[in-house]
Amino acid sequence: MTVFGLPVGASGAEALLENYCYSCHDEWEQKGNLQLDVLDTLPLESRLGVLNKVQEQLYFGQMPPKKKKKQPTVAERSEMLAWVAAELKKHDASTLEDKLRYPNFGNHVSHEKLFSGEIDEKPFTPARRWLVSPQIFIERINAVFGLEGGARQSSFYGVTVPVILPDHSGVRYYDTTTLDGGHLLMMLTNADWISKKQLREARVKNGEIKFNEFPNPKDKWTPRSTPEAFEVIVTKESSPAEAEMIAAIHTQYQCVLQRAASKSELERHLRLLKESISLAGNTEGLRQMLVSVLLKSEFMYRYEFGAGEEDEYGRRKLSPREASYAIAYALSDRNPDAELVKAAGEGRLNSREDYRREVIRILKDQSSFAGPGAPEVSGKGLSSHRVTHPKVNRFFREFFGYPNMTKVFKDTKRSGGFYSNAGRGTAGTSGHVIDEADKIVDHILRQDQNVFEQLLTTDEYFVYHTRPNEQTAAIIDRWREAYEVLKDEPWRDDPESVSLKHEELLKNNLGLKVPQQKKGKGRHDNTLVRLMGYFETTFGRGTTPYTNPPWAHGFRHQYSEIYNLAPIPGTRGKDTGQKGWDFQVQQPFKIPNRKGILTHPAWLLAHSQNTETDPVRRGKWIREKLLAGYVPDVPITVDAQIPEDPHRTLRERLDEVTSPQECWKCHVHMNPLGLTFEMFDDFGRFRTEEALEHPENLIKSGDGKSSASVYKTKPLKVNGFLEGTGNPALDGEVRDAYDLIDRLAKSRRVRQSIIRHAFRYFMGRNELISDSQTLIDAEAAYVKNGGSFKMVIVSLLTSDSFIYRKETQSSQ
Amino acid sequence: MKSRRNFLKQSMLGAGSMALTPGLFAANPKGKAPKRFIFIHKGNGLLPDTLVPSTLKGAELEKEKRKEAFEVSLKNHELPEWMGALSEHKENMTILQGLSGKMCTTGHHTWQSSLGVYKANERLSSIKWATVDFELAKLFPSSLEHIELACFPSGGGNSRGNINGIEKGFSARGPQQPNYAFGSPKVAIEELFKSVLSDKESKIQYQLERRLLEFAATSEGAMAEELRGIEKAKVKNYSDSIENIRERNRKMDAMSDVIRKHAPRLDDKYFADDLNTVDRQIGHAEIALSTLISGMTNVVTLTADELGTIYTGVTDIEKENVNLHDVGHGKPVGQFEALQVREKVRRHHMSLIDRLVSRLKSVPEDGGTMFDNTMLLYFPDNGETHHSKGTEWPFIVMSGKNAKLDIAGKYIRLPHYGKEGHKTLGNWYTSILNAYGNPVEHYGAIDTGLAHMDQKGAIKQFLG
């Protein structure tokens, strides 16, 4: 019996192919130039190429064509797939398996099946090397130098992080990357610098260099000491003894890989070390050995292979040492802490309970792992807020993708001047707004109740929240008191005598020196006249002043309009006498016309174009991230352009260009979701009409600094359509983005989709169908614990998927 | 250092008999010589008015004043006086005006912007893609692929640290991958010519490096052998890359006669740590010539200066530490007005270009000279002036007769910013890339301020 002309056992594949494939691809007809019944006549390479195509077409359900009435059942399709896979496996030639490992194929595993409860396969992760993340890389450098606590560095002068993560929204850190030449080039430079710094103090002791002598005057950072085993060799006048060399090799293995060298490693490094020392002397010879260890690929990878006996399903548990790294890197970027190392050493990292104990311990620890939540926004005038577990918060940052706001450049003039782009030393307005989005996420994570629903629907936000609420309240109280006392005094005309009269008040409440002059202070200094003028435009108009006055050095808070909040008086051109935004002391606070992260300006801008919104991308995001759906990539033949037209809204233009059937078959999955967000403009501001920005529609020209140009507008349509929740009560016509978001927040599928992404984040890979039980358990943990994300983490990190490794076709 | 000098002197001995033929390509079949590119960028802006031929008259002068499009042959015109050093090369020269670069970071410091056509800043994440010089290097591969030399800034916000070291440069190999540039002729020679350096220290370093790479290649290679599937790739790519570097080293070894022959001929003063800026530039130019002529690379990028470069050795004010930032703000230096100081700086740049062009013209290649296959671009890293907006981005281009763009011998002004037919830095680089074999639809970010125009593609009239 043959299939595709290839021999098969007594399977039903032949009949299935006869039924579904040969009618278009046989000796009578070769659609797409493909004839399947003569594969055995093709050279092996071509045959495998065809089989790979067949496998993909079957797997993604693209063949037989949808329009064909006769379709295989699910079971039949599986049977055909199994046969093709087996055939490819014989030659180790399947490309599908590799493709499915990448983030954009994550949703191809059937959602229904994953959560059906019918899968009884035992979960596991393929045994693997997993390239370190940029953050872990830096922490590994810290570990090389033995830096702890406050001595840890977030960057090193001579070290370039060789690892880059993609910048799409969604989980970005996967186990799919392989080390390559780019990494190597940077590692050569890095290793050179690191090894020189490792030996520096010993060389100073040895009199080779002076303590204040630096080849590069800008690079004076130096670790406090050189490990003793190295110092012995550097300071020795004669060649080192073999035992000393062995000690040095073990020491470098400990610094770099936190383990001793194996016997064969020791032999090889010893040979190199001896040769190098005889060639170049102790110091430089030793340095070569240090570099040789730093260049080991193991330094760049996390090892997860499992150890011990295989269980009946062919799986092995992570070794205690591997487990300590897996847990440490799941919850932080650092190597295992002392407790984990101890537990691993004492054989207390074997059982699920052991994992649970350590995971809960780390999650409860409020200080040891704390760090900046959004390190990349820090710059001039802004430093990221701190969070207890940056690695945990990072999941939501990547999932929502709002930090990509920094990458979108906007024309400042179009904003009327309130928006500033990222530039030298600053992430611009985006830095502040991203930080504000992060704060909401962190706020919700701290409460840890109904986390997903809260993230999607909260109406509370942080804006200009630069101090804890109590501090802000105290400042405002002091200012108000001073204003009430001084407002009827001649502070403008005679600040000197007013200041002398109210000396204590000025000192205590306003932090001013006495006497005050009318002029003569630096442009950024507080003066009585400036502060009282500011209070007049705030307290005097019944609003609360923002605690950083507009003349403060590095003042960048002129973007409140992005939330449709009026500007702080004095920040946007001349004072117009209008009430400014009534600054909120108690934050987070309610902002009208917003609902959750998807209406936060950071998310809206991150998913926008330079000069327009981006309904297609927003729709795609919701389809893929929240509905676990899939939209194929834009076909390469399509030049995706929305036509210009000064008389029509973006929606009208988009509708026209995507309405042809061949476009709509994909756009139907995106546009009806994304278009609901047209209630916000491309700066993220709520709107009811769309400005038709074209010279012929210009009503009033703005100066681009304190005012924007005004154009004719057209009413907006913001309704849409939701399908794909699997719940008829939720699917259907939606009024606007709020309606859409409310329904999404109620959808079980959305909850499951977020959990699938969390799985990917903590496991570094796409879920396999065999991970079904892990996902079901994680969802149950979320529901049972009142929507606790922490319990989702505990569930995932104590699952079989996390604990067990299995050798697969792709790993050894 | 003494032994290094000896080596250089020895190589100088051969200079008289130094046949001016590039050893590598002498044997190339006709027409097969690679194309070469030299990018030279400067800080503090390049004032468009200073590039206008003094003999421009009548309607053309009016157009120039109104910044309207026109072109004239340089044959019929006098170059501005400060460009005098290039008057011999007028037929190879293009003065290109009217490009804009508002999609770049402008103002004081611009990082990779002028070569990458995007808003780069000090964050690596701002590097969106490989800069244009690297794209060209891919089209004309060589052992070293690309060489970047820089007179690093020592002050200001763009400070790169050690101005004599190997530091992050102004080119990029790819997204988020800054290139490294040689800060001094000395460090460049130590790195680039180490295979032919004859002093003991260099020889030892050379041997150590070879052994280390062999060690790493063997260890990782052995590990890869035992693996299969994806896990194999995860190690094998790495060990293959180490092997590639070894292969490159072997190639360089095989070229060592040629490299030795063309090693830079530099006086001792170029090896000093306190080299003045002008000498540093000359040293870099010599290294550029050596690496191009010996065939080590086909693309060289030189940062002549950056705003934070403290200038020393400028003619007439040799003793002054010229702060370009202050000059940008109109501060005089000694008895000279800021504009005069700017001119002195440019005048020296022109002599560097003359040095490069003249030397390449003296090297026979393919029945002509090496310069025939060379294109040199001189331009500001930030546009039209000190506090630039990027509305103008003047270029001086020197191209040999085999150049694939039809621009030589002309003063070209393109339509001004925002006017119909206006062209950007992106269009300009797209033209070069398209002409030399990269069919990219458009290279560079788009200008949000020109959203109403079709900004993409090459400048058709340049493609001949």
CA A156 to chain centroid: 22
Question: Do A144 and A290 fall within a single domain?
Answer: yes
Residue at a domain's end among A587, A613, A629: A587
pLDDT in tens, A594-653: 999 999 999 999 999 988 999 999 999 999 999 999 887 776 556 667 888 999 999 999
Residue span of the structural domain in which A531 resides: 469-587
CB contact under 8 A, A424 and B173: no
Residue A112 resides in a domain: no
- Specify the pTM: 0.82
Cα nearest neighbour of B183 on chain A: A216
Residue A116 resides in a domain: no
- Nearest-CA distance from B142 to chain A in Å? 16
Average pLDDT, integer, range B138-143? 93
CB contact under 8 A, A424 and B208: no
Residue A642 resides in a domain: yes
Nearest of A710, A706, A708, A688 to residue A697 by alpha carbon = A710
A160 CB neighbours in chain B (<8 A) are 124, 168, 178
- Nearest-CA distance from B60 to chain A in Å? 31
What confidence tier does B201 reach under pLDDT thresholds 50, 70, 90? Answer: confident
Question: Do A291 and A230 fall within a single domain?
Answer: yes
For chain A, give the percent of residues with pLDDT over 90: 71
Please, are residues B112 and B430 in contact by the beta-carbon 8 Å criterion?
no
Question: Do A292 and A401 fall within a single domain?
Answer: no
| Dist. CA B137–CA B2, nearest whole Å | 35
Residue A352 resides in a domain: no
Average pLDDT, integer, range A119-146? 96
Residue at a domain's end among A742, A772, A791: A742
pLDDT in tens, A176-228: 888 888 788 889 989 999 999 999 999 999 999 999 999 887 789 999 999 99
B10 touches chain A (CB under 8 A): no
| Dist. CA A219–CA A222, nearest whole Å | 9
The count of structural domains within chain A is 4
Question: Do A565 and A486 fall within a single domain?
Answer: yes
CB contact under 8 A, A295 and B216: yes
Residue A341 resides in a domain: no
CB contact under 8 A, A423 and B159: no
Question: Do A695 and A716 fall within a single domain?
Answer: yes
Does residue B23 surpass a pLDDT of 60?
Answer: no
Give the one of B123, B208, B223 whose C-beta lies nearest to A280's C-beta. Answer: B208
CB contact under 8 A, A812 and B232: yes
**Maximal C-alpha separation, chain B:** 78
Residue A638: other Cβ atoms inside 10 A: 11
Structure tokens given for A103: 């983030």
B228 CB neighbours in chain A (<8 A) are 92, 812
B108 touches chain A (CB under 8 A): yes
Question: Do A441 and A474 fall within a single domain?
Answer: no
pLDDT in tens, B242-267: 998 898 888 888 888 899 888 887 88
Q: Specify the higher pLDDT residue, A124 or B446.
A: A124
Report the range of poorest mean pLDDT among A69-83, A483-497, A595-609, B404-418.
A69-83
- CA A281 → CA A209, A210, A284, B191, B444, distances in Å? 16, 19, 6, 21, 50
* Cβ burial A39-58 (10 Å sphere, 16+ → b, else e): beebeeeebbebbbbbbbbb
CB contact under 8 A, A425 and B122: yes
Question: Do A169 and A277 fall within a single domain?
Answer: yes
Cα nearest neighbour of B119 on chain A: A423
Tell me, what's the pLDDT at A639? 63
Nearest of A38, A49, A75, A59 to residue A109 by alpha carbon = A59
For chain A, give the percent of residues with pLDDT over 70: 97
A425 touches chain B (CB under 8 A): yes
What confidence tier does A19 reach under pLDDT thresholds 50, 70, 90? Answer: confident
Residue type, position A467, single letter: R
Tell me, what's the pLDDT at A529? 94
Tell me, what's the pLDDT at A4? 55
Question: Do A458 and A475 fall within a single domain?
Answer: no
Question: Do A616 and A665 fall within a single domain?
Answer: yes
Interface test with A, best of B230, B248, B420 (most A CBs within 10 A): B230
Question: Do A559 and A600 fall within a single domain?
Answer: no
Tell me, what's the pLDDT at A271? 97
What confidence tier does A812 reach under pLDDT thresholds 50, 70, 90? Answer: very low
Give the one of A183, A272, A407 whose C-beta lies nearest to B211's C-beta. Answer: A272
Question: Do A458 and A479 fall within a single domain?
Answer: no
| Dist. CA B244–CA B228, nearest whole Å | 21
Cβ neighbours of residue B363 under 8 Å, at least 6 residues apart? B20, B21, B22, B293, B369, B370, B371
pLDDT in tens, A511-568: 999 898 877 678 889 999 999 999 999 999 999 999 999 998 888 899 999 999 999 9
B219 touches chain A (CB under 8 A): yes
Residue A124 resides in a domain: no
Cβ neighbours of residue A90 under 8 Å, at least 6 residues apart? none
Question: Do A665 and A706 fall within a single domain?
Answer: yes
Residue A790 resides in a domain: no
SS3 A389: coil
pLDDT in tens, B40-96: 999 999 999 999 999 999 999 999 999 999 999 999 999 999 999 999 999 999 999
Average pLDDT, integer, range B163-177? 85
- CA A571 → CA A213, A531, A548, A765, distances in Å? 48, 14, 11, 47
Cβ neighbours of residue B90 under 8 Å, at least 6 residues apart? B74, B75, B79, B409
Cα nearest neighbour of B163 on chain A: A216
A237 touches chain B (CB under 8 A): no
CB contact under 8 A, B449 and A644: no
CB contact under 8 A, B231 and A157: no
Tell me, what's the pLDDT at B16? 32
What confidence tier does B12 reach under pLDDT thresholds 50, 70, 90? Answer: very low
A180 CB neighbours in chain B (<8 A) are 237-238, 241
Average pLDDT, integer, range A125-150? 95
B362 touches chain A (CB under 8 A): no
A98 touches chain B (CB under 8 A): yes
Tell me, what's the pLDDT at A810? 54
pLDDT in tens, A97-109: 777 888 888 998 9
What confidence tier does B161 reach under pLDDT thresholds 50, 70, 90? Answer: low
Does residue A467 surpass a pLDDT of 70?
Answer: yes
Tell me, what's the pLDDT at A166? 80
Does residue A354 surpass a pLDDT of 50?
Answer: yes
Residue A125 resides in a domain: no
SS3 B61: helix
Residue at a domain's end among A711, A742, A773: A742
Q: Count H helices, E strands: chain A?
A: 31, 17
A279 CB neighbours in chain B (<8 A) are 204, 207-208, 211
| Dist. CA A571–CA A551, nearest whole Å | 9
